Amino acid sequence: MWSTPTGRGVRRVAVGVDVGRSAELGRLVAQAAPAILVLTHDDLDHIDGWRGFAPLGLAILQELWIPYEWAALLDSYDALSRGRSRVDPEIDIHGMAERLRSDFAPARRFPAESTPWSRAPEDDGASEDIDEGQLARAIWRISRDMNEFAKRQDPLVPPEFAEGEPEKIAGRVKASVDNLGTILSDATSHGVTIRLFSGDHVPGADAYYPWMESAGHYLVSIANAIEVEPIQFSTPSIADVAFRALATIQNQRALCPVLWHHGWLEGGAIVWSDSTGAWVDRTPGIGHLLNLVSISTAPHHGSDKRHHEPAWEALAPFLRRTDTVMVCAGGQWNQGVAAPYVDHPASRRACTRCRHVSAAQQRAVPGRSRTVSVVTDGRNTRLVVGDQCPS
């Protein structure tokens, strides 16, 4: 959660990033009364807390920011289930990627009543179950081709997803569609404005900084994506649904919000979410951005996996500064922690789960998890934690 004063400090505005895995965490986010909520990607430890957030938070929430792939997946899945589809003679990665991009364009902000999820249900035929076997086979073929396309240097698809049993793969897609559909239906029924963000539409111009665009009330922007809106929805094939499902579950496509202090482009925070930082090399001005912010989360819960090296390399100058704070949030207890986080001075880092210490030290933290607070006035930043990190 990020809370900052507006105007002359008369009113505070809160911005939320993700809602955690549990209903309890979702309720905690709702209690902070965010006006804007950014859902970075569809992993359950980031969105499953929606069931706790919605009953309280939707009464106050004004805007919901999400990856644009969610809209594409839901619309194509719905079209396929209603029998509106076409047959592709072969798997064409480039063609599917182009259809996904061409359905959207850089946005003018639009109100909730004009979003595609608030349309009245169509009555042109009953919805039917999509054949799980066909969907699973399409996902397997596309993920195989995508991995080959990437030359396996940085696989686009998690191996456990691409190589899983067909029924489980199709079930994962259906569960994702159900989860995302519930979130967007809840939001639009309460008049919340839905804003879509895409890394695929970021211009390649050297002077273009995505994080200076699409700012929400000058309180939040997205470091690796720009706002887009649907301009059409092309007739999908089952391969299109599979491709969009794979795009939706890619951690490296997670949105990375930038939270600004009092609407100033300084003294803010960057939230890496589960992003690998693969976008850093193609994003102009990333060094300038990291010089402006004073708070950063540890990429992907501080993961020490090699896929996150681009993010840690970009963060190196940030970590060398003496006025910065890093927070490592969540993560699995058996997940390793990256050396740059552990090497950061203990007075300028804090974790909600201290996974980098011994099991005995972990047990010393009540509940094994805790809340971490960081306070900044735009120029000075300090940690406020309930318990001292045992390291």
Largest CA distance in the chain: 62
Give 287-342 pLDDT, tens digit per residue: 888 888 888 988 888 888 887 888 899 999 989 998 888 888 876 666 778 888 88
pLDDT band at 119 (very low <50, low <70, confident <90, very high): very low
Among candidate residues 268, 302, 285, the one with its CA nearest the CA of residue 375: 268
- CA angle (225 as vertex; 76, 228 as ends), nearest 5: 50
What is the tens place of the pLDDT at every residue in 263-286? 666 668 899 998 888 888 877 788
Please tell me the pTM assigned to this model: 0.85
Q: How confident is residue 118, by pLDDT bands cut at 50, 70 and 90?
A: very low
What single DSSP character describes residue 375?
A: E
SS3 47: helix
Are 43 and 59 contacting, i.e. CB atoms less than 8 angstroms apart?
Answer: no
- The amino acid present at 380, given as its one-letter code, is N
- The side-by-side arrangement of strands in the sheet containing 104-106 is 2-6, 11-17, 34-38, 63-67, 193-198, 226-230, 104-106
d(CA 301, CA 103): 33
Which of 352, 345, 342 lies closest to 374 in space, CA to CA? 352
E-strand stretches of 188-255: 193-198, 220-222, 226-230
Which residues lie closer than 8 Å to 148 by C-beta, 6 or more apart?
Answer: none
Residue 328's pLDDT is: 85
Of residues 137 and 23, the one with the higher pLDDT is 23
Q: Helix, strand, or coil here: 141?
A: helix
- Among 92-106, 317-331, 354-368, which is the least confidently predicted range? 354-368
Mean pLDDT of 212-216: 63
Please tell me which residue, 206 or 28, carries the higher pLDDT value: 28
Distance between CA atoms of residues 223 and 150, nearest Å: 24
∠ CA 169-172-175, nearest 5°, is 150
360 or 193, greater pLDDT = 193
pLDDT at 48 over 90: yes
